[in-house]
Amino acid sequence: MSKSFRKKNRFRYILFYKPYGVLSQFTSETGQRSLKEFGPFPPDVYPVGRLDADSEGLLLLTDDDTTKHRLTDPKYGHPRTYLALVENKPNEEDLEKIRNGIVVSGKRTMPAEVTLLLNEPSLPTRSAPIRYRKNILTFWIELTLHEGKNRQVRRMTAAIGHPTLRLVRTKISFLGLDGLKSGEHRELTDEEIHHLRILVSG
């Protein structure tokens, strides 16, 4: 990155396509893979929210604390979009429960958008085999959430009787995985940074 870009933008913003089995942090006390092996990253950047080790997809890393707060605090309602591979075919009644909010661990989730996909999305092969069960069909759904509770998508799909077998976050607000392969990262463009600052200033 050029020196002029660093002078022009005080903070750093990085998109990372987190692979399966990688922790959303730079250290690991258990021997699991961490973000550290995919760098180098600028100092003092940290993920905005987290993805579980067994989930994949988009992470935004930054040293901008205001952006971290605005994107993760549910009261601001910034959307996050996921693709989930689930057991059996959810019907409209199942999906409507998610759309209206569903009780998970004693608390009702915020309303979410969810769609049953007619075609399998184009995703890289996962590094670890997916746990399929004999004679049980699988289907992909796309969900957009406006909050980020721990393992929320998995708990929501389990609550309607369709456990999630694979989970990929594809978007954080307007930012997506386009142009990134699993394990790759890139800095946001000037235009993306400008758009992001407008988004979190509201």
Which residues are tagged catalytic? 52
Q: Which residues contact 200 (CB under 8 A, 6 or more apart)?
A: 66, 67, 70, 71, 76
Cα–Cα distances in angstroms (integers) from residue 87 to residues 155, 158, 162, 168, 194, in the given order:
13, 9, 5, 16, 40
Contact, 41 vs 61, CB < 8 A? yes
Cα 63 from Cα 85, distance rounded (Å): 33
Q: Which residues contact 114 (CB under 8 A, 6 or more apart)?
A: 95, 98, 99, 141, 142, 143, 144
Cα 194 from Cα 202, distance rounded (Å): 13
Cα 151 from Cα 167, distance rounded (Å): 10
What is the three-class DSSP state of 150?
coil
Helix boundaries (H) for 40-89: 65-72
